[in-house]
Amino acid sequence: MTYRAPVADIAFTLKHGAGLSRTLAQGGELGADDINAVLEEAGRFATDVLAPLNAIGDRHGTPFKDGAVTMPPGWKEAYRSWAGAGWNAVSLPAQWGGQALPHALNAACIEMWNSASMAFGIGPVLTMGAAEALANYGSEHLKQTYLPKLVSGEWMGTMELTEPQAGSDVGALRTKAVRANDGSYRITGQKIFITYGEHDLTDNIIHFVLARLPDAPAGNKGISLFLVPKLLVNEDGALGTRNDVRAHSVEHKLGIHASPTCTMVYGDHGGAVGYLVGEENRGLACMFTMMNLARLAVGLQGVGIAERATQQALQYARERKQGRAAGAASSAIVEHPDVKRMLMTMRALTRAARAICYATAGAIDGSHGKSDAAKASDGRAALLTPVAKAFSTDIGIEVASLGVQVHGGMGFIEETGAAQFLRDARIAAIYEGTNGIQAIDLAMRKVPLSGGTVVRAYLEELRATVKAVQAMNDPALGATGARVAEAVDSLDRATTWLLSKIEKEPQSALAGATPYLRLFGTAAGGCMLADEALAALRVAKGEPAGRVAVARFFAENIAVQAGGLEVAITEGADGVNGAEAALTA
Amino acid sequence: MTYRAPVADIAFTLKHGAGLSRTLAQGGELGADDINAVLEEAGRFATDVLAPLNAIGDRHGTPFKDGAVTMPPGWKEAYRSWAGAGWNAVSLPAQWGGQALPHALNAACIEMWNSASMAFGIGPVLTMGAAEALANYGSEHLKQTYLPKLVSGEWMGTMELTEPQAGSDVGALRTKAVRANDGSYRITGQKIFITYGEHDLTDNIIHFVLARLPDAPAGNKGISLFLVPKLLVNEDGALGTRNDVRAHSVEHKLGIHASPTCTMVYGDHGGAVGYLVGEENRGLACMFTMMNLARLAVGLQGVGIAERATQQALQYARERKQGRAAGAASSAIVEHPDVKRMLMTMRALTRAARAICYATAGAIDGSHGKSDAAKASDGRAALLTPVAKAFSTDIGIEVASLGVQVHGGMGFIEETGAAQFLRDARIAAIYEGTNGIQAIDLAMRKVPLSGGTVVRAYLEELRATVKAVQAMNDPALGATGARVAEAVDSLDRATTWLLSKIEKEPQSALAGATPYLRLFGTAAGGCMLADEALAALRVAKGEPAGRVAVARFFAENIAVQAGGLEVAITEGADGVNGAEAALTA
C-alpha cells in the first residue's frame, strides 16, 4: 500500500504539543490557515511524488562507476521538483531566500518526507543543516556565494566528520587543512560514511568538512570547519573546475539503499580547496549547529518510518482475514486482541515520539532572542534533543519490527515492503551520534544544565499534565492518570539519583544513561499523549475517542515500564560495571 | 569474525539446567564423557565447516530455474558430510538407524548448527520432525521405505501446512486428497512458504502435506497428513519416476537467503501420489509431533543467532578503540559502561533463552513412559515449549539488533555480518506459529493444563531457586535474590489473574497473552541463571565469577521489567480491547 500523510494528526500535535497554538495566539504573520495549507501541500507531495520512489530506490540502489553515482530512476526529477516547490527552504532565513517558517512546521514536513522515503529524506536534512551553519558562521563572501543555492536546494550539502579511527570520538580525526596564500585552505585526508557524498541530483555538492590545522591543539579543541565545493565556483557565480575531492566508493548497506554512503578522498592532487567557516579550531561549535538540527531530523526519521510502518500494518490487519475473534464467523486479524496490542503499541509509540520531536522543534523556535523565556526555551531544546533523537529512532526500529510481525510470513517477503522499513529504520539509531552517545549527552550534560534547573522545570510541566489528567477523571481514560503519575515519579527519582552521581560516580551515571533516556521518553511521551487526549476532549473536532484510546494504551501498557527502568538506573550500575568476568570470551 | 562454538558454556547449562546431570546420575549407557565428546565434535563441525558457509549463502541465495533450486557453493558438500557424520540422527530412534541420544543433547547441537548458519540449520530441523512423526504414526511399510533415509538425512523432509488463506488458521486449508484404488491418495492444491521445498542437497525430498478429503468435516477436524515423495520409490527401494509435485517459485526474503522458501504445486497432471500418515482426519495430531519439536528448534535458532551476534559484537568491542573510559588514555569500547550494558544484555538474554530451551528439551526427554514423573515432565514440556519458541526468538531479534548497534556505523554495512544476523533472526518470531500464536497457546491452553497444576508446580520450582539464592547471600550476587523473587511474585499473580479470566473473559486473557509470555520467560530465565550461578559457586570449575555476573545483571537490569509486565497483563486489557477508535485509519 502507499503512504497517506496523516495531515490532521500532525496538525493536531503541532498545535497542541509543539506550541504552535502559542505562536498563533501571539499573532504575527502566520495564521492557522497558512499552517494547514503548508501541511496539506507537503502531505500531497510526500504521498504522490516521494512515496512511490521508496521501493524503487531500495531495489536500484546507487550504482557507482568511475567516481560517479547514478541515483535511482525518477529521483532526480523528484528532487528537483521538491526543491523547486520550496520545500528545502521552509525554515531557512528569508534573507537568503528561505521562508523563515517555524522549525516545528518544518519538522512536520521532514517527518512526511521521511515517511515517504527515508533514503530521500536524509539528503535535504544535511543540506538544511549546512545552510544553517553557514548562515550563522560563514563570512559574507561565502554566504553570498553559496547560501542562496543551499537554501533553494539547487546545490546540496554534506556533513563530514567520520574517519576510520574517528567515529563517536570525533576529536580523533586526522584530515589535514593547511593555509594557502589566498586565504583559502588545502584539505587532504579521507572521510567515511558520508551521506550523499556523491550523487547526480544537483550540479554541485558543498562539503562541510572537519579538519585539523598543522598547529592545532589535540582533540576536540583543534578542529576547524571548512566548506569544500565539489566544483569550484567562479567569481561570477558560474561553476568552475573540479575540486580535488572525489568519492572513492559507495557502501553496501542493510537499508536506505538509495542514500549513497560514500568514502570521500581529499587531496589526490595536492589538496582540495576549502574555505574556513567560523574561526580556526572552533569548528566543532559550528558543526554542532548542523548536528543538533540533524539529530532532531533523524529523530523525525524514526517517527516517519514508524508512521509508515503503522499505516501499512494497520491496512494489512484490516484486510487479512484469519481465524475468528470471539463470536465472529470470520475476522480480519485486527479484531484479535494480540494483533490489536501490536498495532496499538505501534500507534502509541509513534504518536509519543512525534509529540516529543515536535515539542523539541517548538523549543528551538522559542529560543531566539535574549529574553528569559528564550533562554528557558533554549535549555528545553538542549534537554529534549537527545531524547527526540534516540527515543524516536529506538521506537522506529521497534515499530518497524512489529510491522513485520503483524504481516506474519508476508512480512518477511521483501515485496511486501514491511521488511524495507525495518532495514531502513535500523540506521537512524546509529548515525548523527549513536543512541548511546545521545543517552550520555542527556545524562551527563543536559540533565546537569544550569544545576539541574532545566530538567526540574520540565518535570514540573509534566506534573502539571498529570494533575490535569487526574482532575479530568473521565472514565474512558482508565488508569491513565495513575500510570503517568507513577512514570513521572520514577523519572523524578531517577533524575535526583543521576544528579547526585554525575560528579562523584560518573561510571555509575554512565551505566544508567540508556535506561534513563528511555525512562525520560516514556514519561514525557505518556504525559504528552495524555495532554493531547485532554485537548481533544476539550474541542469537539479533536477526535477525542481515538486520542483518549492512544493515551490510555500508552499509560497502561507502555508507561508501566517506568518502574523497572528506574530500578535498572538506580540499582543496576554495579552489575554493569562489574561485569568483566562475563565479557572475556 | 568466525563463530566459536561455546562448548563449555553449553555443557554447563545442559548439565545444570536441562537435567542431564539427573540422567547421568541414574546411570545408563550415557556418561559425562560421551556428552562432552558429542558437544566437542558438533562444535568443531559447526565452527569449521558450517560457519564459513553463512555469508556465502546470504550472498548467493538459492537461484531458481526450470523448477530446480541451486544451493549456494559448498552447501551440498557440507550437508552431505554433516549427514554422513550422523548429525541428523542424534536423537532419532535406534531402530531406524538413529543414535537415540537425549533431545537435550540434540538441542545443544541444533543451537550450534544455527549459530553457524540459520539458513542451514532450519532444513534438518524439518527432516528430524518428519522422521519423528513418521516413526510415531506411519505404517510399517511407510516406515520401512522412508524412515532409514530420513533418519540418516540421505533424504530431507518438509512440513507443509500453509496456504494463501491458511496461515495461523491452519483449519482453513483447501489442498485436496482423494482416495485412489491402490490405497494411496491423489493430492492437488498449492502450499506456500515451504522451507526447503525444493533443493539439490539430497536426491529425494519427502513432503509431509496436510490436505482435506472430499468427505472431511470442516476446520481442524477434517485435516489429514500425507507423505508425498518428490520422486516415487520403487518396491526395491530405488528411486522411480517424478511425482506430480513441483516448486513453482522461490521467495525473495529479508534473511536466511540460503533457505529456499517455495510455493509448491500439487496435481498439474491429475494429482500427486500421497500416502496417509496416521488416520484420516487426524492429521493435525500427527503434525503436532513435528510442530512441537520444530517450535523448540526454532527457539534454538533464536539462541543460536543471539550467541553468534554476541560473540561478534564482543570481539568487535574488545578490538575497536574509541574515546577514553574513566582514567584511561585510550580504550576499547568494551570499557565504556553503555557498551558494557549492551553486551551484558546480549549475553544475559542469550544465556536465559538457552537455559529455557534446554530445560524444555530435558522435559521432553523425561516425558517417555507412563510414570507420574513422566506425565509431569510431559506437562512441563507442553508448558515450556511456547516460551522456548517465542521468548528465545524475540530475544534473538533484540540481541541481533543490539549487535548491529555495538558496531556503530560498521554494523549497517553488510560486509560486517552483524546485519545478516538481524535479517536472519527476524523470521524465527514468525514461522512455526507466530510468537502471538505461541503466547495464546501458553495463556489459553498451557496455563490451564490440569486445572493449573502444571504451571503451579513450575512456579514452586522457581520459588525454590529464589530461596536458594536468598540463602546463599553472596555479596557478588547483589540484589539477585530480591529481584528474581519480585519477578516470580509478578508471574504468580499474573498467573492467578489469567486462570480467573480464561473462561469468563477470554478477550481479556488474550489481550495479556504476549506480555504474559514475556513475563514467564523473564522470571524463568532469571531463576535459571541464578540457579546456574549457584551451581557454579558450588563447583570450582564452574567459572563462578562470569555466571554470577550474568545472573546478577539479568536480575537487576532485565528481571526488573516483571512488575510493568504484570500491570500490563492484569490492568491493560480494557485499553487494548477498547482501542477501535484509534485503529480506524
Instruction: Fold for A7-152, please state it.
Output: Butyryl-Coa Dehydrogenase, subunit A; domain 1 (1.10.540)
**Chain B interface, mutation test: which of A566, A576, A580, most B Cβ atoms within 10 Å?**
A576
Can you tell me whether residue A157 is helix, strand or coil? strand
Q: Does A553 touch chain B (CB under 8 A)?
A: yes
Q: Where are the alpha helices (DSSP H) in B430-505?
A: 435-440, 453-472, 480-501
Cα A30 to Cα A24, A37, A99, B415: the distances in Å are 7, 11, 11, 50
**Looking at the predicted structure, is the pLDDT value of residue A446 above 70?**
yes
Q: Is A553 within 8 Å of B575 when comparing Cβ atoms?
A: yes
Amino acid sitting at position B307 = E
CA distance linking residue B473 with residue A101, whole number of Å: 62
Task: Enumerate residues 6+ apart whose C-beta is below 8 A from A360.
Answer: A107, A296, A299, A381, A384, A385, A387, A388
pLDDT for residue A24: 67
What is the predicted pLDDT for the residue at A390? Answer: 98
User: Quick one: closest CA in B to A431, which residue?
Assistant: B409
Q: Which among B358, B469, B304, B467 is positioned nearest to B12, based on CA atoms? A: B358
Cell of B584: 480506524
Contact A429 B405 (CB under 8 A): yes
How far away is chain A from the Cα of B29, in angstroms, using its nearest Cα? 33
Cross-strand partners of B166: B163
Percent of chain A predicted with pLDDT > 70 = 98
- Which of A:184-203 have CB within 8 Å of B? 192-193
Whether pLDDT at A325 is above 80: no
Chain-chain contact of A414 with B254 (C-beta, under 8 angstroms): yes
pLDDT score of B191:
98
Residues in chain B within 8 Å Cβ distance of A563:
560, 563-564
* pLDDT, mean of residues A532-537: 94
A404 CA: distance to closest CA in chain B (Å): 9
Of A339, A436, A548, the CB nearest to B339: A436
Q: Do A422 and B254 touch (CB under 8 A)?
A: yes
| Closest CB from B415, B552, B567 relative to A252 | B415
Q: Which of B397, B414, B572 sits opposite A556 (nearest CB)?
A: B572
Region A3-11: mean pLDDT is 96
AA letter at A49: V
Contact (CB<8Å) A340/B560: no
Give pLDDT tens digits for B43-62. Answer: 999 999 999 999 999 999 99
What's residue B23's pLDDT?
67
Q: How close, in Å, is residue B4 to chain A by CA atoms?
A: 10
**Chain mean pLDDT for chain B:** 95
Q: Is B419 on the interface with A (CB under 8 A)?
A: yes
Could you tell me what percent of chain B has a pLDDT over 90? 91
Average pLDDT over residues B134-163: 97
A204-231: pLDDT as tens digits = 999 999 999 999 999 999 999 999 999 9
pLDDT digit string (tens) for B365-389?
999 899 999 999 999 999 999 999 9
B218 touches chain A (CB under 8 A): no
> Does any CB of chain A come closer than 8 Å to the CB of residue B530?
no
Mean pLDDT across chain A: 95
Query: B478 and A576: CB-CB below 8 Å?
Result: no
- Exactly one of B163, B335, B432, B486 is catalytic; name it: B432
Q: Which residues of chain B lie closer than 8 angstroms to A401, CB-CB?
A: 397, 401, 426
What are the grid coordinates assigned to A177, written together? Answer: 587543512
Architecture of the domain spanning A156-285:
Beta Barrel (2.40)
Q: Is A503 on the interface with B (CB under 8 A)?
A: no
Which residue blocks in A320-413 are alpha helix, DSSP H?
337-365, 372-406
Report the C-alpha gap between B534 and B555 in whole angstroms.
Answer: 14
Q: Is B192 in Cβ contact with A167 (below 8 Å)? A: no
- Using the structure block, give the residue that is written with the C-alpha cell 551521506: A195
Q: Do A344 and B405 touch (CB under 8 A)?
A: no
Angle between the B7-17 and B103-116 helix axes, to the nearest 10 degrees? 150
Going by C-alpha positions, the residue among A145, A157, A135 that lies closest to residue A238 is A145
- A94-114 per-position pLDDT tens digit: 999 999 999 999 999 999 999
Contact A430 B422 (CB under 8 A): no
Which of B193, B410, B560, B570 would best serve as a mutation to test chain A binding (most A beta carbons within 10 A)? B560
Mean pLDDT in residue range A573-578: 97
The alpha-carbon gap from A369 to the nearest alpha carbon of chain B, in Å, equals: 36
Query: Measured between alpha carbons, how far is A553 from B102 in angstroms, rounded to an integer?
Result: 45
Beta-carbon pairs below 8 A across chains A and B? 279
State whether residue A395 sits within 8 Å of chain B by CB. no
Q: Cα distance from B331 to chain A (closest Cα, Å)? A: 11
How far is C-alpha B274 from the geometric centre of its chain's CA atoms? 29
Residue B320's SS3 state is: coil
Which of B168, B349, B576, B584 to probe the A interface (max A CBs under 10 A)? B576
pLDDT digits (tens, 9 = 90+) for B117-141: 999 999 999 999 999 999 999 999 9
pLDDT band at B1 (very low <50, low <70, confident <90, very high): low
What is the distance between the alpha carbons of residues A199 and A182, in angstroms, rounded to a whole number?
A: 30
B70 in reach of chain A (CB within 8 A)? no
- Flag whether residue A540 sits within 8 Å of chain B, measured between CB atoms: no
- C-alpha grid cell for residue A359? 515539542
Residue B325 has pLDDT above 80, yes or no: no
| CATH architecture designation of domain B156-283 | Beta Barrel (2.40)
Closest of A534, A343, A485 to residue B576, by C-alpha: A343
**Is the model's pLDDT at B540 over the cut of 70?**
no
pTM: 0.98
B432 is catalytic: yes
Dihedral-angle region of residue B86 (phi above 0 means left; psi in -120 to 50 means alpha; beta otherwise): left
Those residues whose C-beta lies under 8 Å from the C-beta of residue B323, and which sit 6 or more positions away, are A168, A169, B331, B333, B336
Please report residues of B whose CB lies closer than 8 A to that of A172: 322
Task: Find the CB nearest B405 among A167, A344, A430.
Answer: A430
Chain B residues whose CB is inside 8 A of the A439 CB are 338
pLDDT at A323 over 90: no
Q: Which residues of A are catalytic?
A: 432
| DSSP secondary structure string for all residues of B41-79 | HHHHHIIIIITTHHHHHHHH---EETTEEPPPTTHHHHH
Any A CB within 8 A of B47 CB: no
